[in-house]
Amino acid sequence: MLWIILAQMQWRQVTTQERPWKMKRCFSRSTSRGRKGSSETGLKLGTVPQEALRRTLFPLGELTKDFVKKIAAENRLHHVLQKKESMGICFIGKRNFENFILEYLQPRPGRFISIEDNKVLGTHKGWFLYTLGQRANIGGLREPWYVVEKDGAKGDVLVAPRTDHPALYRDLLRTGRVHWIAEEPPAALVRDKMMECHFRFRHQMALVPCVLTLNQDGTVWVTAVKAVRALAPGQFAVFYKGDECLGSGKILRLGPSTYTLQKG
């Protein structure tokens, strides 16, 4: 019912005559040209094909989440107001992530190893249970350690002390072939082989200034103006120029960490 009320107020339809469809940076889960709120649609729609976007409806338009809740209150839709924000991996719910994954994958025991001195700090049930940047729960250690690298062949997870350890920071990555939303690829990037823009790879993170370098196979090198924490292969880098979402590419390869560069 809420979306019907909102649709009557502001119904945005993208028609087949609007070619190509350029997606502005979005800040609400249900808007195409939204304002700042608590989620980021651009990060999710960066891989949607142009053919689908031309026929996409955005009934919430530019409405923020707070304003939507205000409308819900005025129309006594209390179940909307009481609904909690979704956190983490929604389809897992309140279940333990490690236990959930191990229902589908066989344990592959390995070691936690300090990246500073190669000391073995503990053991784990599988390197695939961890992502770069997360805290590693290592039994018997009081101080927090964080995942900085993973060796799938050996099964080792390399960790570092402190959440701001330089081993967590990198300023270079390479994506797979980029999915461009409006132009494939942007004319400026084709002409100059390089282009300044911004990117993000995680929900709600601040946009990071960067320079894209176009490769012949359609992949790009992304050089961040400053090192970024916890870049991870498998995530998607989403690119922006001003308020426009240009597209996205899957992160396939990372450059050396700040720690590695400091060590020479």
Prediction pTM value: 0.77
The bridge status of strand 244-254 relative to strand 169-175 is: antiparallel
CATH of the domain at 185: 2.40.30.10
Per-residue pLDDT of the chain (264 residues; tens, 9 = 90+): 554 554 444 444 433 344 454 554 443 322 233 344 444 566 667 777 777 777 777 777 778 888 888 888 899 888 878 777 766 666 677 778 889 899 999 999 999 999 999 999 999 999 999 999 999 989 889 899 999 999 999 999 999 999 999 999 999 999 999 999 887 899 999 999 999 999 999 877 899 999 999 999 999 999 999 999 999 999 999 999 988 889 999 999 999 999 999 998
In a domain, 158, yes or no: yes
In a domain, 198, yes or no: yes
Indicate whether 207 and 177 sit together in one domain: yes
In a domain, 49, yes or no: no
Indicate whether 171 and 257 sit together in one domain: yes
In a domain, 141, yes or no: yes
Range of the domain at 209: 167-262
Indicate whether 258 and 180 sit together in one domain: yes
Residue 224: which of 241, 236, 207 has the closest Cα?
Answer: 207
Report the phi/psi class of residue 189: left, alpha or beta, with left for phi > 0 and alpha for psi in -120 to 50.
alpha
**Domain total for the chain?**
2
